[in-house]
A and B are shown apart, each in its own frame.
Chain A
Amino acid sequence: MANKQKGCHGRDVFSRMNFLYQASALMVEKNPVLACHYGNMCKSVGKKTVLRMEPEMKRTLCKVCGIVLKPGVSAEVQINGYNEKDQMLTVVCTMCSSSKNFVLNSKYDMWLDNPRSVVETIPEKKAEE
């Protein structure tokens, strides 16, 4: 392949991570141990190549064991907190019983959701040339 680095940097690694994530999501119901393995692999490939996952996607992986947190299958989801202000979404992993907390206050948004955070979009056609 003459132009290996087409599109953006680390394109092949991203596609590999994407594949591993999908594989993990596929195996959640049938074999959670394998799902953990693939999720962990996805995380460690990202670590080795110093490429970041999208936060929304990263939050669906268990921090400790790496399984894809699918509500009802591999995770228990509940909302606690009395006031609307300090309500938290708690996701508990059923494999390793670790939990994640997310703030539900709509006042705070992620920077990536802000349209100003987009610097440049690489068109798809250019990548295929």
Chain B
Amino acid sequence: MASASTEKSSKCTQLPADIQQVKDTLSEVVHPLSRPAINVIPDHVLVLTGTKSKKQLSRKKRAVKKKALTRQNRIDMGFYSLPTKSLKYADMLALHNLWQGYMKEHLGLDAMERVPDVADPQYDGFSKLLVKADLHGAKVLVTRSKCPSLVGISGIVVIDTKNTLKILGEDDKLRTVPKSECIFVIELGNLELTVVGKHLTIRPAERSVKKMKNFMDLDL
């Protein structure tokens, strides 16, 4: 009687081990007295093989990963639209002071009495250092430009992007100046360093890594 209730018949081939397994499990279930009556018919045993489906496996909850901000989030928070009038020049002077300290350390001006000349052997290294420096907080003046209306803009650099500088003038107005068309004079204490804007057109984060190639010719 027990044998009838085992499994449905099929044409699959069975191993003797499978049949033994069925017998063992049945004898555990059935009343002890009727154990000798167990008779497994090999044709009636079907072995089902397989693994868990993928859906079952992925049912576990995954920890929610913290996501970086999307562009829309950044726009909503006002990252790209700095208000042109809310910044105060007086507030930025503190940033400028901080920048001066950083710049002196970066260029090693304490050790040197003066800036190397064009003929000096250190000139090449010095100019590379100057281009690699961070410009946030620098006092900048546009001396020459392809576009005449840009000439004379001065102030503190607030944001540095690949192709532009956002400069906060003394009249608390934020102006965006394209780098590649201008020549800037950077004011550092009593020094004035002239930098060609075209050499600065690197993303600020990559500036420390990128190797500077030979400075290309200018057309201004």
A47 to B69, CA, bound (A): 17
A106 to B180, CA, bound (A): 55
User: Given A23-B136, A30-B88, A48-B206, list of 4 further CB < 8 A pairs?
Assistant: A26-B95, A34-B159, A49-B208, A64-B67
Interchain residue pairs A-B with the least CB separation, the first 5: A19-B102, A44-B205, A1-B125, A13-B208, A30-B91
A-B contact pairs, 19 of them (CB 8 A): A1-B126, A2-B125, A12-B129, A15-B105, A16-B102, A16-B134, A16-B208, A20-B134, A26-B98, A31-B87, A33-B82, A34-B82, A36-B79, A45-B205, A45-B208, A47-B205, A64-B68, A96-B73, A98-B66
Separation in Å of the A45 CB from the closest CB of chain B?
A: 5
Beyond A1-B122, A1-B125, A26-B95, is A64–B208 a contact (Cβ under 8 Å)? no
A45 to B77, CA, bound (A): 22
B152 at the interface (CB under 8 A from A): no
State which of A15, A30, A96 has its C-beta within 8 Å of the C-beta of B77. A96
- Chain A's interface: helix, strand, loop or mixed, by majority? helix
Task: List A11-28 residues whose CB lies under 8 Å from chain B.
Answer: 12-13, 15-16, 18-20, 22-23, 26-27
Contact-size category for B: 35 or more
A48 to B66, CA, bound (A): 21
| Interface contact B66-A1, CB-CB below 8 Å | no
| Interface contact A37-B208, CB-CB below 8 Å | no
Q: Produce 1/0 per residue, A86-129, CB < 8 A to B.
A: 00000000011010000000000000000000000000000010
Q: Produce 1/0 per residue, B130-160, CB < 8 A to A.
A: 0011101100000000000000000000110
State which of A12, A22, A37, A65 has its C-beta within 8 Å of the C-beta of B106. A12
A26 to B98, CA, bound (A): 9
| Interface contact A48-B134, CB-CB below 8 Å | no
A41 at the interface (CB under 8 A from B): yes
State which of B79, B105, B132, B133 has its C-beta within 8 Å of the C-beta of A33. B79
Give A contacts to B, CB under 8 Å.
Answer: 1-2, 4, 12-13, 15-16, 18-20, 22-23, 26-27, 30-31, 33-34, 36-38, 41, 44-45, 47-49, 63-65, 95-96, 98, 128
| Interface contact B66-A23, CB-CB below 8 Å | no
| Interface contact A64-B136, CB-CB below 8 Å | no
| Interface contact A23-B106, CB-CB below 8 Å | no
Residues of B within 8 A of A98 (CB): 66
Q: Produce 1/0 per residue, B74-97, CB < 8 A to A.
A: 000111001000111001001100
B178 at the interface (CB under 8 A from A): no
A1 to B129, CA, bound (A): 9
Which of A16, A41, A63 gathers most chain B CB within 10 Å?
A: A16
